[in-house]
């Protein structure tokens, strides 16, 4: 007699507990874990630096793990550069690289920050480190071109002679174009 009561209790317990267990297993998460980081990144990609930095700072404060913190600092490195605050940007770039020496995008962004601060030797070193990690990066190639433009500008070998246009008048058409 005791056995059927025990089995009945176990059966009732399973009926009560199993929906709770099922709901734990069948969780579906839609969207980002940290909405502030997500919206901040979108604002930065849309070139809205002020809003991107504001949202990313909120995301940093709400960060649940080291990965979210790294993402936040990396985006703040880019965001503060975007709003022309290279000193603040540099602190966030350094934070990321102190923890992850293989984060090539941060080398890219820190090189831009260092160029803005006119610290060209350090910028060149960051470009070199970034290219060692990601040799075919288009972004790093662009930054290297910007670096070379700043440090070793090319002197044009072709000179455009504007005298014919000036002799004809002030209109925008070249002197050899005849208007009907």
- Judge whether 83 lies within some domain: yes
* Residues spanned by the domain of 43: 35-154
- Judge whether 45 lies within some domain: yes
- Judge whether 57 lies within some domain: yes
What pLDDT is attached to residue 164?
A: 67
Cα 96 from Cα 75, distance rounded (Å): 10
- Judge whether 20 lies within some domain: no
- Judge whether 39 lies within some domain: yes
Rg (CA), the chain: 29
What CATH number should be reported for the domain holding residue 85?
1.25.40.10
- Judge whether 132 lies within some domain: yes
- Judge whether 180 lies within some domain: no
Distances (CA, A) of 146 to 120, 139, 143, 156: 11, 11, 5, 17
The count of structural domains within the chain is 1
Question: pLDDT digits over 131-162, tens only?
Answer: 999 999 999 999 999 999 999 988 877 777 77
Contact 165, 174 (CB under 8 A): yes
- Judge whether 163 lies within some domain: no
Read off the pTM. 0.70
Mean pLDDT, 10 residues at a time, the chain of 180 residues:
44 38 50 91 96 97 96 96 97 97 96 97 97 96 96 82 65 48
Q: Give 65's DSSP letter.
A: S
């Amino acid at each position: 007699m005791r056995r059927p009561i025990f089995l009945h209790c176990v059966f009732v317990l399973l009926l009560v507990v199993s929906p709770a267990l099922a709901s734990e297993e069948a969780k579906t998460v839609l969207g980002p874990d940290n909405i502030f980081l997500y919206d901040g990144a979108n604002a930065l990609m849309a070139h809205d630096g002020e809003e991107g930095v504001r949202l990313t700072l909120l995301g940093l404060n709400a960060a649940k793990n080291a990965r979210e913190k790294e993402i936040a600092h990396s985006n703040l490195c880019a965001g503060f550069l975007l709003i022309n605050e290279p000193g603040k940007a540099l602190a966030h770039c350094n934070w990321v690289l102190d923890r992850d020496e293989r984060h090539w995008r941060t080398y890219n962004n820190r090189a831009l920050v260092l160029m803005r601060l006119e610290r060209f030797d350090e910028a060149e070193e960051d470009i070199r480190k970034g290219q060692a990690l990601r040799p075919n990066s288009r972004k790093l190639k662009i930054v290297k071109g910007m670096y070379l433009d700043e440090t070793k500008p090319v002197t044009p070998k072709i000179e455009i002679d504007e005298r014919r246009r000036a002799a004809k008048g002030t209109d925008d058409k070249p002197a050899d174009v005849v208007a009907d």
